Structure 1
Amino acid sequence: MKQLILAGILAVVAAGSALAQSWQEPARGTQTRKDLMSAIRPIAEWRLGAPVQFVVKDLRVAGDVGYGRLYAQRPGGAKIDLNATPISQRMGGAFFEDWEEPFIDVMYTKSGNMWVAVEYTLSASEAWWASPEYCAAFGPVLTEWCH
């Protein structure tokens, strides 16, 4: 009887853990990871100039939604000179003193067989996605912020 009760408790704990983290990180080299990077790359290059390489700090997928925090650099690891970027030029030479390195927070949805970057920010200082409307749509990949 004790073993049956213990097994039941373990099953409930395991189910709770699975619900708490229902997302998975696409492994390096997988098509899903490549597709997610391809979805945000044109946006990053429009703002930061081409070419851009991403260092993935966080990448999550659950069903047809995803979230990523991606640090941008030049291929081979060279730092991006933010004052020489297209976004800086379009903003009249805005000075990006507070940015140590540019990063992108991005929300993805899957449309058919294609991942689409539907919301993003460049080096945001706040967790803008921790709001009811984003939690309703992207909650499965925002488990720390959407309770």
Structure 2
Amino acid sequence: MWWLGRACQSVIGCDTLAACCLRGFYDAVLLGSHGDDLCFAGVGGAGGFATWFGFAGALLDTLRPLVEYDLGAPVEFVVTSLQVDGDRAFARVAAQRPMGAPIDMETTPMVLRDGLPLDTIDGPRIEAFFYQSPARWEVVEFVIGATDVWWWAYDCKHYGGLLSEWGC
């Protein structure tokens, strides 16, 4: 398990955690917290901070084309939480346009192309489950703008280590 937070400031030389995470590390990444520190489960290994951001970037890059299909391109992610346990991962993120611009849900392909009513979408929040195959990380399931907690106790057999606080 990794706890990152104030280390971000000392390694990169930022005034705040948010400023650190907005300095070109794949996406505008504001990560899940444990007090003032950022928490990631099961990443570990050598390489420290840069290694984690490379890993997180790989997961987010796997999710990006799927989200862009529904929200339009380009998107960046603000990470609420990202947990990893071996070959499984769970992410809760919000999508935005580059430089933090909000996404106008009314003009997204999921509304215009697919006819999804706006009142059934709770913004550009995304929950996603991942599996690491021998070749790469793959998205198993994801939902944009869920109005319920569909991921609660989702596949406890495979994701129970990541969802112990959420019903598994």
Q: Please, what TM-score do these two structures have when normalized by structure 2?
A: 0.66
Which residue of structure 2 aligns with residue 55 of structure 1?
78
Given candidates 147, 155, 163, the residue that maps to 1:125 is: 147
Deviation readout 1:42-77 (Å, 9 max, x if unpaired): 011000000000000010001000000010000101
Which residue of structure 2 aligns with residue 143 of structure 1?
164
Cα 1:139–1:22 change in 2 (3 A) is farther
Helix, strand or coil: the match of 1:43? helix
Deviation at residue 98 of structure 1 after TM alignment: 6.2
Given candidates 77, 83, 87, the residue that maps to 2:106 is: 83
The answer (yes or no) to whether the contact 1:110–1:116 under 8 Å persists in 2 is: yes
The structure whose Rg is larger is: 1
Alignment of 1:1-147 (within 5 A): 23-24=41-42, 30-92=53-115, 94-97=116-119, 99=121, 101-131=123-153, 134-147=155-168
Helix, strand or coil: the match of 1:37? helix
More deviation, 112-121/24-33:
24-33
The answer (yes or no) to whether the contact 1:48–1:86 under 8 Å persists in 2 is: yes
- Name stretches of at least 5 consecutive residues in structure 1 with no aligned partner: 1-20
Helix, strand or coil: the match of 1:67? strand
Deviation readout 1:2-25 (Å, 9 max, x if unpaired): xxxxxxxxxxxxxxxxxxx99347
Whole-angstrom CA distance in 1 between matches of 2:56 and 2:40: 17
Whole-angstrom CA distance in 1 between matches of 2:79 and 2:43: 10
Whole-angstrom CA distance in 2 between matches of 1:76 and 1:37: 17
- How many residues get paired? 125
Whole-angstrom CA distance in 2 between matches of 1:115 and 1:43: 13
Whole-angstrom CA distance in 1 between matches of 2:43 and 2:147: 24
Which letter maps to 2:133?
A: S
Q: Please, what TM-score do these two structures have when normalized by structure 1?
A: 0.74
Which residue of structure 2 aligns with residue 6 of structure 1?
none
Which letter maps to 1:74?
A: R
The answer (yes or no) to whether the contact 2:121–2:147 under 8 Å persists in 1 is: no
